[in-house]
Structure 1
Amino acid sequence: MTALSEKTAHGAPDSPAPRGRARRKKATALGGGDKLVLGLMLGIPTLIHLLLVWVPTLGSVALSFGSWDGIGGFEDIKWVGFQNYVDIFTSYPRFWPAFRHNVIWLVFLMVLPTVAGLFLAVLLDRKLRFGRIYQSALYLPMVLSLALVGFIWQLIYQPEQGLLNSILGTTENNPTNWLGDPDINLYAVLVAAAWRHTGYIMLLYLAGLKSVDPALKEAASLDGANAFQTFTRVTFPVLKPVNIVVFVVTVIESLRAFDIVYIINKGRNGLELLSVLVTDNIIGESSRIGWGSALAVILLLISLSVIITYLYQEFSKENRA
């Protein structure tokens, strides 16, 4: 008994204390490694985001207050204050048509593809036969770039041999110039953009519908609600987070639209957009870096104001409720 007590007192090999300390040290070492991995996973993307997004954004804001043709160094920049903004709003003839076209683009995409995407999502959520095939076919245009969509719809809208005029039977007798007529070309391009955007909206709503608790629908059915009442009063309110995502995505998609109109006619003759004006002023023949940066800042402020206003109203309603 005395020998055993002495071994235990002096930390004999079969004592549990050293093993406990070893386990704690191992856990501490693993915790430090996890923190390092987590720091790298968060830090590297954040650093890349800052360098590629926010640094250029702040640089554009700074350049919007200057006059520079892009030749020479930054010491050649002439700071003019808000003069670029004043000139754009008062003496730039292409600005207000482009602004009006962007508003039309936003409203059109907010209504037609959103309603169509929601309708298709509700149909596919009913587990139709060959539903996976329909879903893939409807989403396929979203995989294509807007530039490629522009090429495809140029073939459809071609006056003499285009698919649309062939269906309408107007290829020989006074064919409609869908992309050359400034009175209708914007809406023709919007149909092409909506064709691509609908599949994305459908997929977002379909994911939201899959997450709705079936018990809610069953409860509404037991209370005597029909399918339309169940959707409007039970399902659609549950889709509020999806509605917010759809709204933000549609605003961004509408205001950054560039590729499709630039492919068709470089954003002219009725297809002027703010994004095209930014490109024309920064890398075009005029090389007015200050004007292009000011237009980019205006585009950013428009998108942020629309999104923030919508989010504020939505969350204010939720708090009041």
Structure 2
Amino acid sequence: MPLPPLVLALLDALEEPALLIARQRTEAANRAARALLGAGLVDQDVRFAIRQPQALDAILSGREGRFEVRGIGGIERSFEVVLTSLDTGLLLVRLVDRSARQAAEKAQVDFVANASHELRTPLATVLGYSETLSEEGELPEPLRRRFGEQIHAQATRMMTIIRDLMSLSRIEADRFSAPIAEVRLDALVREAVVAAGPLAESRSCRIELALADEPATVRGDLAQLRQLLDNLLGNAVRYGCRGEGGRVLVSVADAGRWISLIVRDWGEGVSARHLPRLTERFYRVDAARSRDGGGTGLGLAIVAQIVERHRGLLDIRSREGEGTEVEIRLPRV
């Protein structure tokens, strides 16, 4: 017997994939179910739609319940299967996607593990050197000074990691509220280049500017945009200037409804396989080189979060041996 139009309309109104099953036969499937499992589900054996063993056994038994399974609509996808018996003798099968939740939980676990690892290394150094300094007996002055310098350097490193973690937390807390202040991006770029001057000089690196003639005004958070520029310039100078004569080009240009900010270097560049992961927290192309350069592995993650909060676009282009170009587009006022 055909199902009433109202029943079909209610089924289609559900956001999650849903099917109505009667005696192993799929009587109806909403749009979400057809998109997930295929178009030809209706009037077919339910085994054509659901092949995951645990879910299939529960559906064929007709019993109510809810449980999570993997393997429906993709090997890595996770769904909560909700089975509800209806008075009409039909079994309502709903598939609630839990993949995003599980991915978020995994990301949180990975983040805590990475943060613990990053802090453990400098902390172990501080404890080791301080324990030696606290022992009885004289230490030669050069050795004592070297131990003190190492303690200070590692404590500074821990403070930098904690500062960056706090920055990420603050940015994420504000990510749903778009900034409303008007910020002159071209003026802010000039300030950032001056601030990066000492670092550039220490690396024998020249920072060049190419700014638009007209004022480049965006809606933004002044402190966050300043941090974004500091991170981009710091990365470009540390990893993009190869010896004497190295240079970094910073440009700001009109791009229609956007203001385009580009930071370009001619350093070693990055392999294509690393590009998709550069904005992950604590991800490093070369861990040793990053630590030697003073990096925490959080710089580009912070940049990505700031761009997201500003409703902007981030694009990183790089080729090994040719350098890296980071472009950020922010909505203009």
Q: How does the TM-score come out when normalised to structure 1? A: 0.24
Greater strand content: 2
Max Rg structure: 1
| Structure with greater contact order relative to length (CA < 8 Å, sep ≥ 6) | 1
Name the TM-score, length of structure 2 as normaliser: 0.23
